[in-house]
Every structure is written in structure tokens, then in C-alpha cells.
Amino acid sequence: MKKNLIIGFALILCLPGFIFSDVVSIKVGYFIPRAMSDLWEEEFINMSFIKADFQNTNFAFGYEYFVSREFSIVLNIEGYTKNKSGIYNDYVGEDIGDESYAFDYGEGYPISHVFSVSITPVQASIKLTPLGRKGKIIPFVGGGVSAYLWTVRLQGDMIDFNAGEEFIDVDLNAVVIGYPTYPVDAREENKISFGFHVLGGVMVPIANRISIEGEVKYSQATGTLKEAFIGFEPFDLSGLTISVGMNYWF
């Protein structure tokens, strides 16, 4: 709910810009998360999905106000969401009495959960077009600050690797280690963090008031994990976005 209110408030702030601004833009992009914090890494080590599985398309809407021929201010809102289900690598589940355990051998059932990440940046940028805006190709660079609205969720079954128990396997005539499994629905929802971004690209006019645009943007931020993920370092929200879009010039 808080996330929706903040996005709505940002859009309301944009409305005067949509009326009086010089450019309104719509873009589709491809977000590649950096995914370098320990929660990301633990999921990639233990589960069947990989970092590339969390790359995904995103959409952006924004406006640009010209301060001068070479200088403008841009407000941009975009969103990224990815839900991925996976099973634990190298472990299977087995019920012993009323409890469930994970073993690294055997023919038990798969142990799975869903890892979900949502990131919605609201970004204010300074944009420079050093060659002006009258050429057939208009290069630009820029950067600025961002507010990131984000959610992380784990839902399904997890293995507690810190609570291994010894069992006697009569078939192997050996002591084996089983790790208890438990259902989980852990989440950090509608959190807000702040960071920065840098960008660069080109605009190509194709009509009197229309141009197409290609952009590469790197965003940097982390989000603090609290009650649901005690013991984890700040969650990495950073990543690279490659986008194309269309601009309408007023």
C-alpha cells in the first residue's frame, strides 16, 4: 500500500511537467541486477536458478524539462519484478516421524521455494547534450539521485543448515546428517532506499516532434534487511538497464 501511494504521489508531481515539459518519454528496457549481496549469493549457491534468471524487462515513463540547449532535468519512474521458483541443489527431502529433513543423497522429494524481487526506482537526473539538440544524432550523458521502492520475498520450504542431526542409515550401515526443513514466508515489503545512477545514450529524431532513444544506465543502491532476514547484509538493489524508447517533443 505504501509503495502504491508513493508512486501515485510521484506521478502527481509529474503532471505539471507532462503539461509544460519539453519531452515526454516511454521506454522499454532490460534490467540486469548486480546481485552481489549475501542473500542473492546464498540463493544462487543453494538453488537451481542462476543470476541470469533474474534478468527481466522493465518499463519506464518520464519527462524532461529543458533548462538550456545543452542542459535538462529529467524525472523518470520505472519498475522491475521477477519471481523465480527453484529447488535445492544436491538435497532431497524425507519425512521422519512428524518432521521433514534434507539429505544429500537418496530418492526423496524436491525441496523448493520461490524467490521474488521487486524494485521501482523514482529517479531525478541532470542530463547533458554537449552537441546540442539539432543534429541527426544527439548523444547525451547524465546522472542523479534515486529513491528505490523495493520488496524481497521467500515463500516455500527452506533447509536449516545450522541444525544438522545424525541418523543411522541401515542400508548404508553409516551415520548420515539430516538437516531440518521448514515452511517459510519471509518478506520485506514496500521498503524505501536511496542511491544514485549514471547514464548515457543517443537520441535520433525521426519526425518533427518525435525521436527514438537508446540508453544505458547503471543504478547503485542497497536496502536494509530487518526482521524477516536477520543476519543478512544490506540487499543489493543495483543493476544495469539497457533501454530503447520514444520521445515526444513539445
- CATH number of the domain bearing residue 39: 2.40.160.20
Q: What is the pTM of this model?
A: 0.87
Q: Is residue 240 part of a domain?
A: yes
Average pLDDT over residues 165-193: 91
Supply the pLDDT for residue 21.
Answer: 52
> Smallest Cα–Cα separation from 189: which of 1, 39, 15, 44?
1
1-47 confidence digits (pLDDT tens): 445 444 444 444 444 444 445 889 999 999 999 999 999 999 999 99
Q: Is residue 120 part of a domain?
A: yes
Of 230 and 43, which is predicted with more confidence? 43
Give the residue carrying C-alpha cell 512428524.
98
* Single-letter residue type at 73: I
Average pLDDT over residues 143-171: 93
Q: Is residue 232 part of a domain?
A: yes
Average pLDDT over residues 138-160: 97
Domain with 148 in it: 2-82+116-152+189-249
Q: Is residue 61 part of a domain?
A: yes
**Mean pLDDT computed over every residue of the chain:** 90
Percent of the chain with pLDDT over 90: 76
Longest Cα–Cα distance in the chain: 81
Q: Is residue 35 part of a domain?
A: yes
- Number of domains present in the structure of the chain: 1
